[in-house]
Structure 1
Amino acid sequence: MRRFWSRLGFALTAVLLAPAGPAAAAPEQLPVEYSAPAFAVAALTAKAPFNPPGGNDWSCVPSADHPQPVVLVHGILGNGAGWPAMSPLLHNNGYCVFSVTYGIYPWQAGGALAGTGGMAPIAESSKELRDFVARVLDATGAEKVDLLPWSEGTLVAARYILVDGGAEVVDQVFNLAPIYAGTDVADPIVNAAYGLGIQDPIFTALRGTCQGCVDMLPVSDNIRELQAAGVYAPEVRYTNLLTRGDLEVVPYTNGYREAPNATNIVLQDVCPVNFAGHNSISVDPTVAALMLNTFGTPVEIPCAPSPTPYV
């Protein structure tokens, strides 16, 4: 936590000492929906190309204050439209915001699961993120991007940075509920499969329907490879936001990893009464303020109980 607060103090000082210059045109202010139901509606009813409010404006030109576009990376069963709080908030504060949709199998096209991402193998999704970031850099003229990944997206981003060239073009990452060591949430099913000796046919069957689900398990090759590679690239800065209210990354500390270039924030250490869960942290005002401060926009950090704790 000490590193985070010192970074915040530096940002505040920089703002106070910065010379006055010509004012940039204020972006159109969009509604910011701090609501878990709003997230669910946005993700479930979205249609291609899955643009979030204020995001995926391919004519956006980064400002001198915010020269790096922010790329949002959704979680399992999500898509790029499911950001009703973070995307418009970043837009309202003058950032160029882009949101990838990844991990959709070819067989999903046109069906009921057409907008359900994150199901394909993470190794493939990583390359989709690579190509999307390349498009963002080409459109905006920026040299680097910042990433805001969430849930499975933290694994996609980690692999992209370590394996698919992201370390060269990513400056920093603000991870929401990272899953570096996998999640034990499916332990009863996994343990039963191993106990019966049927784990291999089950995992083989899932390969064509939801390999992304398997890739988040601690026993998966994806997690083992990530851990063996050290999780972090030394040239990238990482901030990990964890919550004790997380019922999907089990235990929540599986997203905690120390390093000189990493800051770990447990939400309840900042706001003890806020038990926002795995999904609701993406629409939480305290988390959003922490994210803005990390990306260089000093704002007051509110503290209040989450209306959807443990969700």
Structure 2
Amino acid sequence: MHRICSRISLSLIATAALICTAGTASAEPEQLPVNYSVAQWFADTNSATPPFTPPGGNDWTCVPTAAHPEPVVLVHGITGNGAGWPAMSPLLHNNGYCVYSVTYGIYPGQSGPIAGMGGLEPIPQSSKELRDFVDRVLQQTGAEKVNLLTWSEGTLVAANYLLFDGGDKVVDQSFNLVPIWAGTHAADPIVNAAYGLNVAPETFAALRPVCQGCVDMLPVSDFIHNLQAAGVYAPNVHYTNLATRADTEVVPYTSGLREAPNATNIVLQDVCPVNMAGHNSVSVDPTVAALVLNTFGTPTEIPCAPSPSPYI
């Protein structure tokens, strides 16, 4: 009888162990739709309300795994917010990453057509918002470091954070979509007209309460001069810069390509010549998404096909 009871007990223990093991093994992330669509990005960004959460993102109960110990923080561009990541956020989530999306640069009291538009405040102020957000991610997840996925103006916000606000101590990698290290000449006709009419100081002053972030991206801005003087890169962070020759907003597109021992520069058309994704569509592009996964440690086949939204 004692032996029978012992066998039953052992069987129960073994069964319980199998159940627990099976439960652990099946704890895969819920697979969410990955939407490679500029229209979806635009809709998500413009219909979002606080807390501006993208699909699969900002789960403050997420626990990093041994395979992916570093959470990924998404940093949007000008007039964007944290909700505007319909491809990258669910893709990273589906692959087992803890994903968080900051919203920065919203002026207090914004309402009407610009309600929910981020990136408008001065970039150094937005940098501090990113710092506080990353601190929260680290505290909640217990991770030692994060990786950043930045886009457009977000590349400059992250650059300021890494150089001047302590980000280099808690960030391992920064993957930068269409970075703007040397500023963009896209607004040169307006800037040149302002200088030609001797109203440049007045023009820039008028923009400060509305979109100082816009001014900070100009090659003539104090922000860009200071960033260049500081060397752009924090030495102990690795930077991956993704530029596209189809960019009509970062002019020239090479503004975001800067050589350094801790930097990898990628031109999208060198990877996939037929892919003419533009400044906005790189954030929802399958080729770019695969490059991001590979950089962050998930081996992935890199597809190559024409962009459904070229030059956008």
Determine if the TM-score, normalized by the shorter chain, exceeds 0.5: yes
Residue type of the alignment partner of 1:94: G
Query: Aligned partners of 2:71 and 2:246: how far apart in 1?
Result: 30
Residue type of the alignment partner of 1:310: Y
What pairs up with 1:166-181 in 2 under 5 angstroms?
166-181=167-182
What pairs up with 1:122-141 in 2 under 5 angstroms?
122-141=123-142
1:232 equivalent in structure 2 = 233
Query: Aligned partners of 1:202 and 1:111: how far apart in 2?
Result: 23
Query: Aligned partners of 1:116 and 1:220: how far apart in 2?
Result: 22
Say whether 1:89 aligns with 2:91: yes
Query: 1:111 Cα deviation (Å)?
Result: 3.4
Match of 1:104 among 103, 106, 111: 106
Query: Aligned partners of 1:201 and 1:24: how far apart in 2?
Result: 61
Query: 1:64 Cα deviation (Å)?
Result: 0.4
Find the residue that maps to 2:194 and give its secondary structure. helix
Larger Rg: 1 or 2?
2
User: Following TM superposition, where does structure 1 have runs of at least 4 consecutive aligned residues deviating by more than 4 angstroms?
Assistant: none
Aligned residue pairs total: 289
Say whether 1:221 aligns with 2:222: yes
Query: Aligned partners of 1:112 and 1:246: how far apart in 2?
Result: 26
What pairs up with 1:152-191 in 2 under 5 angstroms?
152-191=153-192
Find the residue that maps to 2:307 and give its secondary structure. coil
Query: 1:107 Cα deviation (Å)?
Result: 2.9
Find the residue that maps to 1:210 and give its secondary structure. helix
1:140-184 CA deviation, whole Å, 9 max, x = no partner? 000000000000000000000000000000000000000000000
What RMSD over aligned residues (CA atoms) do the two structures have, in Å?
A: 0.8
1:177-226 CA deviation, whole Å, 9 max, x = no partner? 00000000000000010011100011111111100000000000010000
Say whether 1:270 aligns with 2:308: no
Query: Aligned partners of 2:300 and 2:28: how far apart in 1?
Result: 17
Find the residue that maps to 1:208 and give its secondary structure. helix
Show structure 1 runs of 5+ residues with no match.
1-21
1:3 equivalent in structure 2 = none
Residue type of the alignment partner of 1:171: D
Query: Aligned partners of 1:113 and 1:96: how far apart in 2?
Result: 30
Q: Which has the higher contact order (CA 8 A, sep 6+)?
A: 1
Query: Aligned partners of 1:204 and 1:23: how far apart in 2?
Result: 58
Percent identity of the aligned residues?
Answer: 75
When normalised by structure 2's length, the TM-score is 0.92
1:65 equivalent in structure 2 = 67
Query: 1:114 Cα deviation (Å)?
Result: 1.8
